[in-house]
Amino acid sequence: MNRFWSWLWRSTTEGETPYERALLATLLTLLGEYAFETHRRTRTETRNAFLQLSQRAETGELTEIVPFVQQQRRDEQQFVEGHLNDLRDLVWNLLGAIAKIAQEESDEDASLRQQIQKLSLQTQRPEALDIHTLRHTLQSITQVLEQREQRHRQTLQQLQGQLHHLMRELAQARRESTTDPLTGLYNRRAFEECLHHTVGLNRIFNYPATMMLLDIDHFKHLNDTFGHATGDEALKHVAEHIVRVCKRKSDFAARYGGEEFVVIMRETTLRDAQKIAHQLAEQIRRSPLPVPHGEPIRMTVSIGVSELQPNEEADAWFRRTDALLYQAKQTGRDRVVA
């Protein structure tokens, strides 16, 4: 990383090649795409800020890049450390509550032992047995046990509330770590997990599984012509169509990266997957992207489809599907190759 900053500093002071500008612009775009929320900015605001820096980098405006990235990294570090501290405090609160219960029970147990000892002594001397003292002792024991039960119930309710809050935060963090913030589909990390699970289940149950990898045609031209905001709308537009077409519970749709999307369809043969792919391509073709104060933009996609083969590894299956997508793009785009 230090080498990267050194190179970036030299670039801002000594000049850079067009290749270096393009590389830097791509890196900034990726940093924005996978950024997360901090106390200073939302995820969307951070992403847009990185996109603006990426556009400036392409034109040679580099002076603001290093300060912004350094600040963003510090903010992310503070954000993560703050959440970790919150979780650590919650755990300590739970441990403290448990320790308090144990101490209170220990004190009460000592008092109960004294009361029981009194009863024991009285029963050993029946002639000195006082019914009022006996009743008072039994009432004291009953009161202590009732108070303990009530206190335990209140403490457990508090602990349950804290645990539910913690579980909600962890579940939210889990969703954010596996969801693409722009489209709402799963992200690449979640896809790779699903890919390996699908291959593993296929080897056990031997059910058919297909993969559909699609790419928006001429997306860079769309971005350059209409801007990144319109490009974002195009990505969301395609994602919405994927969700509408691939709507079974067993269908897994993700944004793989950039303008590429991937769908894993379990218990689906290649023939059925081809029908779904053609239906998706047709819907996108017939649904231009609305543009404010302008003509709707006609969009098409190229799709590669393949069925998982017996004993095929996950990486090999993905590469084979990617090769089919490449073939669809090389043979004219706006088509399905299976």
231 three-state secondary structure: helix
pLDDT at 144: 72
List the pLDDT tens digit at each of the 338 positions of the chain: 455 555 555 555 455 567 777 888 888 887 877 777 777 777 778 888 888 888 888 887 888 888 888 888 887 777 766 666 666 666 676 667 666 766 766 766 676 677 677 667 666 666 555 667 667 777 777 777 777 778 777 777 776 776 676 667 666 666 667 888 889 899 888 899 899 989 988 888 888 999 999 999 999 999 889 988 899 999 999 999 999 999 888 899 999 988 999 999 999 999 999 999 999 999 999 999 998 878 899 999 999 999 999 999 999 999 999 999 999 999 999 999 99
pLDDT at 251: 92
Cβ atoms of 54 and 31 within 8 Å: the answer is no
Q: Which of 169, 176, 193, 259 is catalytic?
A: 259
The string over 118-136, giving b where at least 16 C-beta atoms fall within 10 Å of a residue's C-beta and e elsewhere, is: beeeeeeeeeeeeeeeeee
16 as an active site residue: the answer is no
CATH of 188-337, one of 1.20.120.330, 3.30.70.270, 3.50.50.60, 1.20.1630.10: 3.30.70.270
CA-based Rg of the chain, rounded to a whole angstrom?
A: 32
Q: What is the DSSP string of 58-96?
A: HHT--TTHHHHHHHHHHHHHHHHHHHHHHHHHHHHHHHH
pLDDT at 285: 95
Displacement of CA 24 from its chain's centroid (Å): 26
